[in-house]
Amino acid sequence: MKIVIFQPMLKQYRVPLFDNMGVLLTEQGHEVRVVCGTPPANEVRKGDNITASKGICIVEKSNWFLKGKLHFLHHALSHILWADLIITEQANKHIHNYLLIVFRFLGYKRFAYWGHGQNRQGNPRSLAEKMKKILSTQCDWWFAYTQGVANYMIELGYPASKITVLNNSIDTSEFKGQLAQQSLKNVAEFKNKLGIDDNARVGIYCGGLYSDKKLDFLLKSAAKIKQLNPEFVLLIVGDGTDRSMVEIFIQTHPFVKYLGPLFGEQKALAFRSSELFLCPGLVGLAVLDAFTASLPLITSNIPNHSPEIEYLRQGYNGLITEHNEEDYSEAVAGILANADELSRLKENSLESSRQYSIENMASNFVEGIHAYFNINA
């Protein structure tokens, strides 16, 4: 069978997934194309997009209109006409999605959605979200990022028998190898360069520095944790629009170490030097980095987490506190004060990292494609 998977752009972190899927599907006699667009200006600045065709991934030119709210993918029609099954991102912005809906209504083509189900950072009462809710059931199969997304689609009336749960993931194998290479000596030297005592209790935040991450909350909580545990140190890794907030805070709070964006060995050293991953704001795929490094994740119960928050199991591999600085800081300090509890959470975090692997996601995706063809044979 001929399969097309549409992506608005080719993110570096998605390439291992498509490589895995390409091998599995080709071995089973399928032909597969991952057709990706070129990124808009705001995405180009991130530097994490691939703009040339690679393997089964075909990069076609995109036009973006209305500040990125409307996407026209060149040659989308020719790929649709070629395919027996089209899998596309569930989003209102893609013009080819409306073409797919028309073709499906005419009985000419069948297609599947994959994605979040809803925009958790958007306004559920907006016209765009209401439209997305209506259109999200107008497809022949659903590849849901997580079980929670699947449950949401079932609530909308979509049949559970036509939903595949992917357990959205990234390839953590390289990071795992980099972590394994960091010796106790390396960690000691890393801490020494930062002026961190050997007996310090270290937490880490790693991710974008922007409003959804609640960095003001994190910094104020860090100050409270320091009062409860004088040995506490916070590492902040990343960059973004709220960078200046962090830089101003560290001028009067030297126990917070801002390291900027880190990659490779330096990122692995920062994680190896830490005991907890602190992210009171939006949690997404960063949870997998935390678990791969055997770090429990501590967040708060804000409503706009990404679907991957489901991977955090309360009291098993992390904690979700109330969204106030007192509860958050007391929870972090409490874990640091309980060696047995911290050890248990760390072991469970590492175990969770094995469950949410890129290999498992690729396998789930391919099994869902087989299930679709079996039902529609």
Going from N- to C-terminal start, the domains of the chain cover 2-169+358-375, 173-355
Whole-angstrom distance, CA of residue 108 vs CA of residue 90? 20
This model's pTM is above 0.85: yes
Which pLDDT tens digit goes with each residue over 301-360?
Answer: 999 899 999 999 999 999 999 999 999 999 999 999 999 999 999 999 999 999 999 999
- Enumerate residues 6+ apart whose C-beta is below 8 A from 321: 280, 298, 299, 300, 301, 327, 328, 331
Please give the distance of CA 377 from its chain centroid, rounded to a whole number.
34
pLDDT given at position 44:
77
Please report, as a single letter, which amino acid is at residue 200.
A
Which tokens is 23 given?
Answer: 């091998």
Q: Are strands 318-321 and 111-115 parallel, antiparallel or unpaired?
A: unpaired
Whole-angstrom distance, CA of residue 151 vs CA of residue 351? 25
pLDDT given at position 118:
72
DSSP secondary structure letter of residue 343: H
Average model confidence (pLDDT) across the chain? 94
Question: Residue 221 — very low, low, confident or very high, per pLDDT cuts 50/70/90?
Answer: very high
Fold of domain 173-355: Rossmann fold (3.40.50)
- Taking each helix axis from N to C terminus, what angle separates 325-336 and 339-355, rounded to the nearest 10 degrees? 100
Whole-angstrom distance, CA of residue 273 vs CA of residue 260? 16
Place of tokens 């997998």: 288
CB 185 within 8 A of CB 267: no
Mean pLDDT is lowest, of 35-39, 44-48, 360-364, for 44-48
Q: Are strands 318-321 and 297-300 parallel, antiparallel or unpaired?
A: parallel
Which pLDDT tens digit goes with each residue over 26-37?
Answer: 999 999 999 999
pLDDT given at position 222:
98
Q: Following DSSP, what letter does each residue of 158-192 receive, concatenated? A: --GGGEEE-------HHHHHHHHT--HHHHHHHHH
pLDDT above 60 for 121: no
Please report, as a single letter, which amino acid is at residue 61.
K
| CB-based burial label for 111 (10 Å; 0-12, 13-18, 19+) | buried
Question: Residue 126 — very low, low, confident or very high, per pLDDT cuts 50/70/90?
Answer: confident
CATH superfamily of 2-169+358-375: Glycogen Phosphorylase B; (3.40.50.2000)
Please, which residues bridge with residue 341 across strands?
Answer: none
Question: Residue 119 — very low, low, confident or very high, per pLDDT cuts 50/70/90?
Answer: low
Which of helix, strand or coil describes residue 306? coil
Whole-angstrom distance, CA of residue 229 vs CA of residue 337? 8
Percent of the chain whose predicted confidence (pLDDT) is above 70? 97
Please, which residues bridge with residue 88 across strands?
Answer: 6, 113
Cα first-last separation, the chain? 11
Which of helix, strand or coil describes residue 326? helix
